[in-house]
Structure 1
Amino acid sequence: MLTIPNIMRCQKLTQSPFRLLIVRNRHNEAIQVAWEKPEIGWTKLNFDGSCKGKAGKGSIGGVFRNHKAEFLLGYAETIGRTTSTIAELAALRRGLELVLENGWDDVWLEGDSKTLVEIIARKRQVKCAEAQGHISHINLMIPELNNCILSHVYREGNKAADRLAQMGHHLKKPQVWRHNPPYQVLRIMQDDAEGKIFLRKR
């Protein structure tokens, strides 16, 4: 189902541990990047964190879609001064909270931070207490799901989540969209649904 650089597929943690497969493309040509639909019965979350400047203003955003690339839910909010890593972790944590609130059991989580994917996949301990707090909550929520995939995608395949995270900078309070997405992501979602390919230079 997936043709992505980093993928982690996990079921109940008591049944199957995390597995991380890293595929490295050693060629120098441009990489083709496109958003991929989940399988029937799965819900896909694309999430992103944004941080303006070192330890600057942070925001998060994410979008849920089904196997037809139909919009299910989106979220965005500002999170104050932070770092890019914590913003990414906060975006995933908020997304997982919404997963559990909506009762989705088979979920594909995808973001454009390779570092975050590896931290969660390898269960790394980090020195920052705030970051470790997010990681601990994430690791508690994932086992609640029946099936879960966590993958990395280049930013070109994560444009809808990136746009929502950028919108979060301008919101006075957290916002959740249900059924109808904000107009700012409509064109991006149409491109994604059509499988539009973007070329990423190495």
Structure 2
Amino acid sequence: MSGSKDDEGSSWTSRFLKVASAAAATVAVAGGIYAVLSSSSANSEHEAAFGEEQLYNKGGAALVAKWKKPEAGWVKLNVDGSQDLFKGPSAGCGGVVRDSSGKWVGGFAKKLGSSLKAHQTELQAILTGLQFASRMKLKKVVLESDHNSAVRMVENGVKPNHVDYDVVEQIKEKLFRFEGEVRLVVINTMANSVADRLANNARDPSFYSVYQEYVDPPINCVQYLQRDQMGCVSSF
């Protein structure tokens, strides 16, 4: 997430799965299966091997500072929101889908209203990413965001009088009706460099479209894709 992050990295755990049993501490959803996974989950995307660069959240759980390929049969959708209060101001969001080999499947960038706060750009990134995944008819999606507060808002919901109620409800509705399975995961910012670049592209003055989808990666994303493919820790 470009810009500030509220309460980033705090420890939390919750899972939502399409099952009938309340004994499993799960919630049934009609259209698809979705899970909100903790960064401290023993089997999460963030479990680090010895020697990997790590950052830690307040609960002491390691967040690996590099992108990881999804398991076979899944795709990974990284999303990010971006704002710049000093040069513009401007805001945008972006996302990238990659398969289990790390190959680019598709991407998007969207210009947003410049008055949005950091967490609001991330909520828009999550919503736009889900819409993108639905149009692509993806079935098994790991959706990664680097904004903990935004993901927690989706997990817990907000009150009807909350300023972000409408977009949070849209995201929950998308998850509810998704024709497949979605795992929503909080990651380290350094593992989100390609989505960050796409979001930055969207708020650039030279980005004349309101919304654009990419069959092939933009040229300024290629080096970040290559670093992720090689398992390098990104720096940007």
Work out whether the TM-score is over 0.5: yes
1:26 CA displacement: 5.7
How many angstroms does 1:125 deviate by? 3.2
* TM-score of the two chains, using structure 1 as the length reference: 0.83
1:198 and 1:98, CA in 2 relative to 1: closer, same or farther beyond 3 A?
closer
Between 180-189 and 118-127, the greater mean CA deviation after superposition: 118-127
Aligned to 2:118: 84
Q: Whole-Å Cα distance in 1 between the matches of residues 232 and 212 of structure 2?
A: 28
1:8-157 matches, within 5 Å, as 9-12=15-18, 16-17=26-27, 20-21=37-38, 23=40, 32-53=64-85, 56-81=89-114, 82-125=116-159, 127-129=161-163, 131-143=164-176, 144-157=178-191
Q: Which moved more, 1:67-76 or 1:15-24?
A: 15-24
Structure 1 residues 154 and 20: alpha-carbon distance in aligned structure 2, compared to 1, 3 A threshold = closer
Seen in structure 2, the aligned counterparts of structure 1 residues 85 and 35 have a Cα distance that, compared at 3 Å, is same
Q: Aligned-residue CA RMSD in angstroms?
A: 2.8
Residue in 2 that maps onto 1:186: 222
Please give the alpha-carbon distance, in whole angstroms, between the structure 2 residues aligned to 1:65 and 1:7.
26
| TM-score (norm: length of structure 2) | 0.72
For 1:13 and 1:108, locate their aligned partners in 2 and report how far apart those are by CA, in whole Å: 19
Deviation at 1:186, TM superposition (A): 0.6
Structure with higher Rg: it is 2
- Please report how far the alpha carbon of residue 80 of structure 1 lies from its aligned counterpart in structure 2 after TM superposition: 2.0
Between the aligned residues of both structures, percent identity stands at: 25
Q: CA deviation at 1:21?
A: 3.2
Q: How many residues align?
A: 192
1:110 and 1:151 in contact (8 A); partners too: yes
Shift, 1:145, TM fit: 3.7
Counterparts of 1:110 and 1:33, CA distance in 2? 13
- Post-superposition shift, 1:100? 0.7
Greater RCO between the two (CA within 8 Å, min separation 6)? 1
Q: What residue ranges of structure 1 are gaps of 5+ in the alignment?
A: none
Where structure 2 has 5 or more consecutive residues not aligned to the other structure, the ranges are 1-10, 28-34, 41-56
Q: Give 1 or 2: higher strand fraction.
A: 1
1:44 is displaced (CA, Å) by 0.8
Aligned match for 2:232, one of 175, 196, 201? 196
